[in-house]
């Protein structure tokens, strides 16, 4: 009789919460990873310096993004956005 391993699957919850403070307004999104939470952010006209906060449980990290990084992360499409998502998610090692 063959042995079978029991699979321990991660709960498919939304562990990470991303918050952007831009021009005095807060925009929030959540996802299973940092990149998913960042890609779920919908910010109209993201031009300017922003404060990006990533929360996982009781751990909180904040980073200040330049206007160029904010625009590339939240408004652009295609390869530019993918590179910005990767580089920004590397800033948050929770």
Res. 11: pLDDT tops 60: no
Average of per-residue pLDDT across 15-43: 92
**What span, in angstroms and rounded, lies between the C-alpha atoms of 21 and 50?**
6
Task: Map residue 53 onto helix, strand or coil.
Answer: strand
Tally of CA atoms within 13 A in the half-sphere of 29 that contains its CB: 16
% the chain with pLDDT above 70: 85
Which residues 6+ apart lie within 8 Å of 78 measured at CB?
none
What is the per-residue pLDDT across 39-84, written as a single tens digit (0 to 9) for each?
898 988 889 999 999 999 899 999 999 999 999 998 878 898 899 9
Token representation of residue 73: 């992360």
Task: Map residue 36 onto helix, strand or coil.
Answer: helix
- Give domain limits for the chain: 16-91
């Amino acid at each position: 009789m063959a042995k079978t391993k029991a699979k321990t699957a991660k709960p498919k919850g939304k562990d990470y919460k991303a918050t952007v403070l831009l021009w005095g307004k807060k925009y929030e999104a959540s996802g299973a990873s940092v990149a998913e939470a960042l890609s779920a952010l919908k910010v109209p006209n993201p031009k300017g310096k922003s404060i990006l906060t990533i929360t996982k449980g009781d751990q909180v990290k904040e980073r200040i993004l330049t206007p160029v990084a904010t625009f590339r992360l939240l408004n652009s499409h295609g390869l530019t956005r993918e590179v910005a998502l990767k580089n920004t998610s590397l800033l948050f090692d929770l």
